[in-house]
Amino acid sequence: MRVLVLTTDLSTGGAEMALFRVLKTLTAQGVEPLVVSMMGIHGQHFPTMGLPIYSLEMPRAMLTWRGIMKLRAIVREFKPDIIQGWMYHANVFAHLARFFCTSPKPPLALAVRASLTRFAEDRPLTKKVIQADAALSRFADRVFYVSRLGHQQHVDFGYCSHNALVILNGFNCEVFKPDLAARGWLRDQLGFPQDALCVGLIASAQPVKNHDGFFQAVAEIAHEFPHAHFLCVGRRVTEENTELKAAIPDKARACIHLLGERGDIPRLTAGLDLAMSTSHAEAFPNVVGEAMACGIPLVVTDVGDSAWILDGCGVVVPPDDVHLLADGMRTMLSCTAVERAALGERARQRIREVFSLDSVAASYLREWQRLLPSELKE
């Protein structure tokens, strides 16, 4: 089965990583994927996983004649059995990809990877793309949603309901797993004492990820936990990002560390005492599932499906409340190591039972096979 996947961008963000994990899993089951990124690959640590990738080099996912002609050539040469859009801009573009296919046209599936919680704050162009995606969704054979909340929000917004299906994110528990040696490795690498508490926020530098709120919450509790260090990891989360660095309160500056984009996220995550998800809005945050798979408890904001995913294996706080975010961290850091480990063990078991990568990949494969004409089905 040849699957042409169009994505808006390729970076180390959650939506992109979820896509590549599914595709890599399915290559062993006879799926031949070809990934086409509208904007290209961004970030030195993006793992291609050996999958073929083409870039249309469209700035800010804006259509260009050169990009359109390049897509046409790719489609005509690859002759896909399925076309899969991945994220809003690429969903709209995927209809054009199907138009370029010779008859009979292949089935078209779309993937919505976000919630609409903060739609009012989106850029005008993004709003228009989402509106176009909604209007065109009735012409797709399937629309996959990554969260239950996102599904309901988009159907209420005007997306077609009869072709909708929720497929959650999946996690490879052989990659994201407890690692007793990671704790010492992380502290040695960063020059911290072995008894230091390490709290991690893994998120790119975007306003929706709420680094500012995290910094303010850390400032509230830093004096209570003098041996704690707060690690921020992600694209553009660096000392060179002057706007981000300026948001760190003076009394938290010594304990907040901007580590940038890294290629060792599973090991780093396993070395934490506590993981964070502080976003203003999410659909299904990958960092929550990844930390849980590593046996690390979390403090998360109650956005998207976060609270349902966590299922008591940590603390859930309302979004946009710095004081309650600080209280959540205080609660978890005041626990004993044994208490945090017990929460982490429960968390990993939940991921293994409900969110395994193999079961999620099998769901995509099953739905793609259902869309194929009978002569192409195995």
State in Å, rounded, how far the first CA of the chain is from the last one: 9
Helix, strand, or coil here: 238? coil
Distance separating alpha carbons of residues 170 and 271, to the nearest angstrom = 21
For the four alpha carbons of 271, 330, 351 and 307, in that order, the dihedral sign comes to: negative
pLDDT at 206: 93
Q: Are 1 and 82 in contact (CB under 8 A)?
A: yes
What pLDDT, on the 0 to 100 scale, is given for residue 20?
Answer: 87
Residue 175 lies in a domain: no
- Asked if residue 208 is part of any domain, the answer here is yes
- Shared domain for 363 and 341, answered yes or no, is no
Give the pLDDT score at 45. Answer: 46
User: How far is CA 248 from each of CA 20, 133, 218, 258, 262, rounded to the nearest angstrom?
Assistant: 34, 38, 9, 10, 21
* pLDDT the model gives residue 268: 98
How much is the pLDDT for 376?
65
Helical spans, DSSP H, in the chain: 14-27, 65-78, 88-100, 124-136, 148-157, 180-190, 211-221, 242-246, 265-270, 286-293, 306-310, 322-334, 337-354, 357-371
Decide if 254 is inside a domain.
yes
Domain-embedded: residue 18:
yes
Q: How far apart are CA 51 and CA 47, in angstroms?
A: 9
Q: Is residue 274 part of a domain?
A: yes
Considering its fold, how many domains does the chain have in total? Answer: 2
Question: Torsions phi, psi of 82, nearest 5?
Answer: -140, 140
Q: Are residues 217 and 117 located together in one domain of the fold?
A: no
CA distance 158 to 378: 35
Q: What is the mean pLDDT of each run of 10 residues along the chain (378 residues)?
A: 92 77 92 91 62 85 84 96 96 96 94 93 92 97 96 97 95 95 97 97 95 98 97 96 96 97 95 98 94 98 96 96 98 97 97 94 96 74
Same domain? For 161 and 198 the reply is no
How much is the pTM?
Answer: 0.88
The structure tokens 């640590």 sit at 45
Task: Indicate if 196 and 328 belong to the same structural domain.
Answer: yes
Q: What is the pLDDT of residue 372?
A: 92
Residues 196 and 343 in one domain: yes
> 85 and 53, same structural domain?
yes
Torsion, CA 304, CA 307, CA 308, CA 312, rounded to 10: 170
Residues 230 and 343 in one domain: yes
> In this structure, how many other beta carbons lie within 10 angstroms of the beta carbon of residue 219?
19
Q: Is residue 74 domain-shared with residue 196, that is, in the same domain?
A: no
Residues 16 and 120 in one domain: yes
Token code pair at residue 341: 């480990």
Dump the DSSP string for 97-122: HHHHSPSSPPPEEEEE----TTGGGS
19 in a domain, yes or no?
yes
Measured from the Cβ of residue 322, the count of other Cβ atoms closer than 10 Å reads 19
Name the 3-class secondary structure at 123.
coil
Phi, psi of 63 (to 5 degrees): -65, 135
Are the CB atoms for 211 and 203 separated by under 8 Å?
yes
- With respect to residue 309, please indicate whether it lies within any of the assigned structural domains: yes
Q: How far apart are CA 304 and CA 1, in angstroms?
A: 33
Q: Are residues 141 and 246 in the same domain?
A: no
Do 214 and 303 sit in the same domain of this protein? yes
18 with 161, same domain? Answer: yes
Query: Which residue range is the domain that position 134 belongs to?
Result: 2-170+356-376
What CATH number did the domain enclosing 156 receive? 3.40.50.2000
Residue 158, domain member (yes or no): yes
